[in-house]
């Protein structure tokens, strides 16, 4: 048996696909949905913990890739460096849980770490490397 925590990102036209149903029924996996969200630019983000026989896990992940879903491992923690941040707001649109918000009085980014599910989407998106993975 093996267990993986993964972040799935998929386009709007795959939102109605029975992805978790297929993982359970066709690949005999135990699926725990940790978080599900749709970003403002209409990407679906699903954070899953999946468990099963090694071969079933591999086959299930191959199925997800085949239908066009991007898979990233769930990272542990992230750190925001206010000094590097230019408040460009790119991360506001990508974060599925609303960790980054614009303070309308100061027009500065605020970071609410408690809401973070460590999906890593902002880490790859930030042009100024103001968000990084903490190992
Ligand atoms: S994308 Fe990076 S630089 Fe832009 S607001 Fe977010 S953390 Fe700051
Ligand atoms: S890793 Fe970044 S995008 Fe993901 S939930 Fe945390 S702050 Fe939001």
What's the gap in Å between 40 CA and the centre of ligand 2? 14
Residue 52 and residue 89 in one domain: no
- Classify 55 as helix, strand or coil: helix
Range of 111's domain? 77-134
pTM (two decimals): 0.65
For residue 103, with 0-12 CB atoms within 10 Å meaning exposed, 13-18 middle and 19 or more buried, which class applies? Answer: exposed
What's the gap in Å between 79 CA and the centre of ligand 2? 10
- Which among 73, 94, 116 is the end of a domain? 73
* CATH code (residue 40): 3.30.70.260
Residue 52 and residue 87 in one domain: no
Tell me the per-residue pLDDT of 77-113, one tens digit each, with 9 for 90 and over: 889 999 999 999 999 988 888 899 999 999 999 999 8
Residue 30 and residue 52 in one domain: yes
What span, in angstroms and rounded, lies between the C-alpha atoms of 131 and 135?
13
Instruction: Give the closest residue (by CA) to ligand 2 atom 2.
Output: 122
Tell me the per-residue pLDDT of 44-76, one tens digit each, with 9 for 90 and over: 888 898 999 999 999 999 999 999 999 988 877
What span, in angstroms and rounded, lies between the C-alpha atoms of 26 and 83?
48
What's the gap in Å between 13 CA and the centre of ligand 1? 28
């Amino acid at each position: 048996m093996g267990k993986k925590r993964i972040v799935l990102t998929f386009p709007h036209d795959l939102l109605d696909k029975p992805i978790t149903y297929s993982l359970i029924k066709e690949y005999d996996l135990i699926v725990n949905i940790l978080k599900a969200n749709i970003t403002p630019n209409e990407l679906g983000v699903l954070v899953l913990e999946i468990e099963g026989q090694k071969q079933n896990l591999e086959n299930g992940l191959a199925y997800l890739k085949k239908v066009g879903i991007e898979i990233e491992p769930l990272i542990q923690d992230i750190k925001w460096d206010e000094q590097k941040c230019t408040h460009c707001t790119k991360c506001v649109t990508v974060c599925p849980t609303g960790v980054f918000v614009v303070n309308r009085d100061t027009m500065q980014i605020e970071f609410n770490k408690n809401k973070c599910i460590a999906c890593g989407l902002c880490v790859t998106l930030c042009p100024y490397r103001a968000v990084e993975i903490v190992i």
